[in-house]
Structure 1
Amino acid sequence: MNGIKQLIVLSLSLLAAPSFAQPKGAVYLDDKKPIEERIEDALSRMTLEEKVAMCHAQSKFSSPGVPRLGIPEVWTSDGPHGIRAEVFWDEWNTAGWTNDSCIAFPALTCLAATWNSEMAALYGKSIGEEARYRNKNVLLGPGVNIYRTPLNGRNFEYMGEDPFLSSTMVVPYVQEVQKNGVAACVKHFALNNQEQDRDHINVNVSDRALYEIYLPAFKAAVQKGGAWAIMGSYNKYKDEHCCHNQYLLKDILRKEWGFDGVVISDWGGVHDTKQAIYNGLDMEFGSWTNGLTWSASNAYDNYYLAMPFLKLIRSGEVKEEEVDKKVRNILRLIFRTTMDRNRPLGSFGTEEHALAGRKIAQEGIVLLQNNKNILPVDLTKVKKIAVIGENAVKRMTIGGGSSSLKVKYELSPLAGIQNRVGKDVEVTFAQGYESPAVAEQDVKGAKVPEKKVIDVEGLRNEAVSAAKNADVVLFFGGLNKNDNQDCEGVDRKEYSLPYEQNKLISSLAKANPNLVVVLLTGNAVAMPWVKEVPAIVEGWYSGTEAGNAIASVLMGDVNPSGKLPFTIPVSLKDNGAIAMGEYPGNGKEETYNEDIFVGYRWADKHKAKPLFSFGHGLSYTTFAYGKVEIDKSKASANDKFTVSVKVKNTGKRTGSEVVQLYISDLESSLPRPVKELKGFKKIQLNAGEEQIVSFTIGNEALQFFDDSKHEWITEPGKFEALIGASSTDIRGKVGFELK
């Protein structure tokens, strides 16, 4: 058996390595030479045609190398939450392989809800190993667009509403992916904050909001994470598509941030050859990009950066140095990934990765409400559990757009609960509600199941009957990956739960007071029944091990420690993007009238009490915060000083708490948020244990971006450091002055 394994590993390593030619004095093949020297050597040996070919796709997910020089192709994979199944050369349909079933990791909203950079590192390491094993050298993720409105269909792929939180979480993710010799392609750069009209909407936003809210996570990924790739977004900014945008890609990404990686277009996101040449794009991907190639024998030759690019260079209208700039970046990517002889082999579909996904999910699950301490379920007293709701059994790893996965397995919440309670507790199931059937995504020939009339009242009555006869009711609802739920390409149509779930939940609450509502979503939802239901849990889309992860929290094997990465408003009028009356724009233009006041910043400014606050999350234990102390009450702009607080576990079991630091600028010359997140630490404490949590405050935590000067400003004046368990649960504060 070991011999077979060794043979498999050897075969994979041979497949993964390029077939090197050996031109005389080939510096580019010598990985002991500096990368920049290797780039210039390889570039000097390439023909013009070979250079241009490297700048555009040759298939759905790959671009050409230079076979005669042993320079390999670039192979990408969709991968926000897992490595996508292999597809046909020029089709979205799966190719029918039998060895490409991946592990599905939790959606990035769940990762962000861990508020734990160690979980981000574990995520990056695990998904990077899966990508490497499949010999992908570009992972198309992570996504870090800001959660601006709860109607954005793609919010589940991102890391929440706060730039500091998403910046902190993206860095270890990127670093760990790239240790596998796989480039993290951070997306979607920038301002892709809605799916409606995404391919042409022109976003108008102040420079201040751009720099303070929408760019920090990208900047952190580049400057701290060392990202090797960036993906442009579909939308426009300053009337230029973001995949070839002078301001974003050249002025900010290259000049201000010093990015030396490759810029990749979103699929079909290129619209103009000359803009693509001069405005910072390196590689063009997507089928039928220019809309003129349906009858062409080779569609890819007609891409904007293919024959049109080559013809402009041959005519002398464009200098060859323009293609050289792009190829340098592409070669740098290849040398960092596929042509790195020390690149590890990776691993795929392993138990280790499944358990990593479970651990991330367990840390990200958020206990929103627990009146009467109904959770955790006491299995010494409960003998019959009614599990109700379609989401208890619905597959959540397929659909949703490019995040759709072919998984090795997906354990449902119902199966997870049955596994956990065993034969001593009776578990019954009632569907309760039903969503319209859809065809399985990416499967060739898949047909939508025949439409049927859904017996809404019958399903509800069956569920209520099951609830009446149970000791405790676990309802699994929320959204799903269908169109207009949590899905790429379309936004949600309403804030309310779909499929008449609200009426069902109220009926269940009347039938049985021991009701737990578990929401599986990537977005905030309205909860008009919030006062009728004793316990509410946000379970997210938690991947392969979702059922086990959720069951472990509900039954108390794991003490919940997740915190919301976004605000859940009572209604849409309490969301800034919608309250200002601009979202989703007029089909051509969308103006961010709320400016820097996104999420909790908006709620604070307008004194709008959230349903559940940013940073909120309960535990099965309790934590007491001591007095907040500071080591300097006065400091100069370049000083660093420490804010600390003692936190004690005052409950009866071990638990983890996320201690959050917010800063208030009391004397700013420009309007600023009431407070802004500038630090957080997740600590684990045994019952009765206490720990001092300290934060170092430096100049970066006090700055704001001045549009008129186009620079970051730190003003003297009075500030406050606030310590809290959420953005609204502030446990203490201390003032200080900047000289």
Structure 2
Amino acid sequence: MLKKTVLISFLTLISFSSMAQNNPIPVYLDESKPVEQRVQDAVSRMTLEEKVAMLHAQSKFSSPGVPRLGIPEFWTTDGPHGVRPEVMWDEWDQAGWTNDSIIAYPALTALSATWNKKMSWNYGKALGEEARYRKKDILLGPGVNIYRTPLNGRNFEYMGEDPYLTSKMVVPYIKGVQSNGVATSVKHFALNNQEMFRHTSNVIVDDRTLYEIYLPPFKAAVTEGDSWTIMGAYDMYKNQYASQNQYLLNDILKGEWNYKGVVVSDWGAVNNTEQAIHNGLDLEFGSWTNGLSAGTKNAYDNYYLAKPYLDLIKAGKVGTKELDDKVTRILHLAYKTTMNRNKPFGNIASEEHKAIAKEIGEEGIVLLKNQGNLLPIDINKTKKIAVIGENAIKIMTVGGGSSSLKVKYETLPLDGIKARFGKKADVQFARGYVGDIGGEYNGVKSGQNLKDDRSETELLNEAVSLAKKSDFVIFVGGLNKSDFQDSEGNDRKNLGLPYNQDQLINALAKANKNLAVVLVSGNAVAMPWVKDVPSILQAWYLGSESGNSIASILAGDANPSGKLPFTFPVKLEDNSAHQLGEYPGNKEELAAGKGKDQKNPINITYNEGIFVGYRWHDTKNIKPLFSFGHGLSYTTFEFGKASADKASLGTSDTITFKVSVKNTGKKGGAEVAQLYISDLQSSVPRPAKELKGFEKVYLNPGEQKEVSFTIDKSALSYFDAEKHQWVAEPGEFEALIGNSSDAIKTKVKFTLK
């Protein structure tokens, strides 16, 4: 049975406020006092046991406050795309509530693909409103780990391969969520770039790569977004687990970045009391204890920051300096969340939230290819539409790991297409292939039974027959959220599409030249059929409004403006982590069976260094299948000649680049102007170009607008590991402006004095 949440009752507050003058309101409850003073007063009133109790969980998703002082408990929730359904107090099983269904928003890959900071704020605000309505205090997200390999099962929860794009997109998300008095918990700090061996790996990466590629989004989350909590990762770095890591948490996060918030462990990421005490962890969740072997009544007393910590203090083996710092941080969090009486009430599944989910989906969908302007579908000339593929009918909000959701509704692609085109065209469906027929994850049931006993040949023949009789064919395939695809816990086994989809797509391309392939995935996939298919849409996991967003793009109601947040390689070996680095780990150690448990972790060396994604492809002239930043439109755009407001840049000033963008087509739409910087005279290896600015601009037919980018020397800098500082070398640079990393339209040279 669920335990009841401890709350400060209005009666308690009234009793405090009505005290006589000689018995005033305690400072920690007096809202007229500065928060720092209130926090220190609360700490001074707490017993040793009460302080230690605040540092660890009391259930799967909550941690205690101090009931004696009227300090409420904290309630956390997954995830970054929607508020997770309620589970039992001590179990992962569903609690069976009937009022915990929500709106699922597009996955973070789709949000990042909008390249629109305003969309990120809208997303965060709406999600924060739903979390607040559900009485959650900490939202466990967003994820900002860098897309190092397209096999990472959890890439769909992250924001792509580029640290600059991720940094700029995560900050408004954080601010939107936290405007509701709900804390974000930016994750997973740090270097959790694959799911395979995530509990049993030691990542080896040089400091330059760490600071240039993997840390910037976390730094932006802290220094610009003011994320009130940060979640540690599972993996090891410098032979210490990330959630109790001296270098990551104390030296960098709390030292260099002066972070004042709370460090939360990932669930089960802690394994050592003394390291947890001294190495920067504040709040421990999910440790694997059963409460039986230690003979205690409460399993949570066995946590590393629970009774073991208390025993060390009482034995005089550790002091209370770290304890008071942890409690102080948690209380500051409380005054922003649980004890913040000015936060809004929130709302759930409103019409506004549905509209936001649909709009983000529309803006995130990327038109990869559109030969002969096949899309949008001309409904006046299309009488029969064939929709083929399991992903047209498969619920995608259930599954994938901790981001699995219980939704009020999910509009499937087939339903969205029927609703949009069905009044004028005959829309028919053929399965085409059978993939994942399941519909349950962590007790959340989709209600679907997709079992189909027909043979592969029967399914293919039915699909081809329908395609031949139709005016237009829409294939909806890709990946799904089952294990070894886009899912937490395991990585993909290869780059190709599963379930024999390549053969099916080839057959459909021969059967009907009017074919659009819609890929639902959070990862890049191989496309051996790319030359034979005229139109390709990358549609991601789009949540509750998935089918409506896809149909809107297919019909041309919305003009596609999404851009890829990561590179699609032609083959896996073109990815730098697979060509140069170690994946999934050191080969000799793999052969020796390392990585099976935490006593024998496997080393993973990032030999590719800073050359991740387009930085590798563009520097080594390896042609991608589709480049970082790529995305087409139903209209056309023209870039003017770029200009700079000066020819050189000093060490303390800025330089501004301007470029005009014109809609030269017949349909209103949006283009993303992208600024890349190239160092022409570097003494150290540097990528051919690096993203340092982007702006999405909306233009009516014939309309022209000027876009400007202002940078300072930080945009020209690299991290010097020996000096442990950012260095901008004097010399010549080039500003490159275009609409993808391999489509530069105009250039301007300038000098750093």
Provide TM-score, normalisation by structure 2: 0.94
Give CA-to-partner distance per residue, 1:566-591, whole Å, 9 cap, x none. Answer: 00000001100001151110331000
The amino acid across from 2:646 in the alignment is K
Aligned to 2:589: none
CA distance change for structure 1 residues 293 and 687 in 2, over 3 Å: closer, same or farther?
A: farther
- The SS at the match of 2:530 is coil
What does 1:509-658 align with in structure 2 at a 5 Å threshold? 509-586=509-586, 587=595, 588-658=602-672
Q: Does 1:198 align with 2:207?
A: no
Q: Does 1:700 align with 2:714?
A: yes
Give CA-to-partner distance per residue, 1:83-138, whole Å, 9 cap, x none. Answer: 00010001111111010001000000000000000000000000000001111110
Residue 15 of structure 1 and its aligned partner are, at CA, apart by: 8.6
Aligned to 2:499: 499
Q: 2:720–2:727: 8 Å Cα contact kept in structure 1?
A: yes
Give CA-to-partner distance per residue, 1:28-47, whole Å, 9 cap, x none. Answer: 11222211111110011111
Aligned to 1:9: none
Unmatched tracts of structure 1, length 5 or more? 1-11
Aligned to 2:691: 677
Measured in 2, the distance between the counterparts of 1:110 and 1:36 equals 40
RMSD value over aligned CA atoms? Answer: 1.9
CA distance change for structure 1 residues 544 and 447 in 2, over 3 Å: closer, same or farther?
A: closer
Residue 447 of structure 1 and its aligned partner are, at CA, apart by: 12
Aligned to 1:137: 137
Stretch moving more, 637-646 or 404-413: 637-646
- The SS at the match of 1:531 is helix
Aligned to 1:6: none
Residue 471 of structure 1 and its aligned partner are, at CA, apart by: 0.3
Measured in 1, the distance between the counterparts of 2:255 and 2:448 equals 49
Q: Does 1:725 align with 2:725?
A: no
Q: 2:291–2:302: 8 Å Cα contact kept in structure 1?
A: no
CA distance change for structure 1 residues 486 and 372 in 2, over 3 Å: closer, same or farther?
A: same
Measured in 2, the distance between the counterparts of 1:581 and 1:121 equals 35
CA distance change for structure 1 residues 615 and 446 in 2, over 3 Å: closer, same or farther?
A: closer
Measured in 2, the distance between the counterparts of 1:526 and 1:231 equals 33
Measured in 2, the distance between the counterparts of 1:35 and 1:441 equals 42
Q: 2:434–2:452: 8 Å Cα contact kept in structure 1?
A: no
Stretch moving more, 641-650 or 293-302: 293-302
Aligned to 2:61: 61
What does 1:262-411 align with in structure 2 at a 5 Å threshold? 262-289=262-289, 297-411=297-411
Q: 2:186–2:231: 8 Å Cα contact kept in structure 1?
A: yes
Give CA-to-partner distance per residue, 1:401-449, whole Å, 9 cap, x none. Answer: 0000000000001000111113221000001011143350121899998
Q: 1:288–1:294: 8 Å Cα contact kept in structure 2?
A: no
Aligned to 2:251: 251
Measured in 2, the distance between the counterparts of 1:83 and 1:186 equals 15
Residue 628 of structure 1 and its aligned partner are, at CA, apart by: 1.1
Q: 1:163–1:213: 8 Å Cα contact kept in structure 2?
A: yes
Residue 293 of structure 1 and its aligned partner are, at CA, apart by: 5.1
CA distance change for structure 1 residues 447 and 181 in 2, over 3 Å: closer, same or farther?
A: closer
% same residue = 63
The amino acid across from 1:652 in the alignment is K
Measured in 2, the distance between the counterparts of 1:366 and 1:445 equals 30
Give CA-to-partner distance per residue, 1:160-212, whole Å, 9 cap, x none. Answer: 00000000000111011111000011000000000000012000001001000
Q: 1:60–1:287: 8 Å Cα contact kept in structure 2?
A: no
Q: Does 1:484 align with 2:484?
A: yes
CA distance change for structure 1 residues 214 and 19 in 2, over 3 Å: closer, same or farther?
A: farther
Measured in 1, the distance between the counterparts of 2:638 and 2:44 equals 65
CA distance change for structure 1 residues 27 and 100 in 2, over 3 Å: closer, same or farther?
A: same
Aligned residue pairs total 728
Residue 598 of structure 1 and its aligned partner are, at CA, apart by: 0.3
Measured in 2, the distance between the counterparts of 1:452 and 1:79 equals 32
Q: 1:18–1:72: 8 Å Cα contact kept in structure 2?
A: no
Give CA-to-partner distance per residue, 1:571-616, whole Å, 9 cap, x none. Answer: 0011000011511103310000000000000101221000000000
Give CA-to-partner distance per residue, 1:220-278, whole Å, 9 cap, x none. Answer: 01000011000000000000000000000000001111111100000000010000000
Provide TM-score, normalisation by structure 1: 0.96
Aligned to 2:590: none
- The SS at the match of 1:126 is helix
Aligned to 2:229: 229
Q: 2:7–2:70: 8 Å Cα contact kept in structure 1?
A: no
Aligned to 1:51: 51
CA distance change for structure 1 residues 725 and 520 in 2, over 3 Å: closer, same or farther?
A: same
Q: 2:142–2:185: 8 Å Cα contact kept in structure 1?
A: yes
CA distance change for structure 1 residues 451 and 561 in 2, over 3 Å: closer, same or farther?
A: closer
Stretch moving more, 449-458 or 619-628: 449-458
The amino acid across from 1:614 in the alignment is F
Stretch moving more, 633-642 or 571-580: 633-642
Q: 2:7–2:72: 8 Å Cα contact kept in structure 1?
A: no
Give CA-to-partner distance per residue, 1:456-499, whole Å, 9 cap, x none. Answer: 11111111111111000000000000001100010000100000
The amino acid across from 1:440 in the alignment is E
CA distance change for structure 1 residues 667 and 76 in 2, over 3 Å: closer, same or farther?
A: same
Measured in 1, the distance between the counterparts of 2:346 and 2:489 equals 32
The amino acid across from 1:552 in the alignment is S
What does 1:157-176 align with in structure 2 at a 5 Å threshold? 157-176=157-176
Unmatched tracts of structure 2, length 5 or more? 17-22, 587-594, 596-601
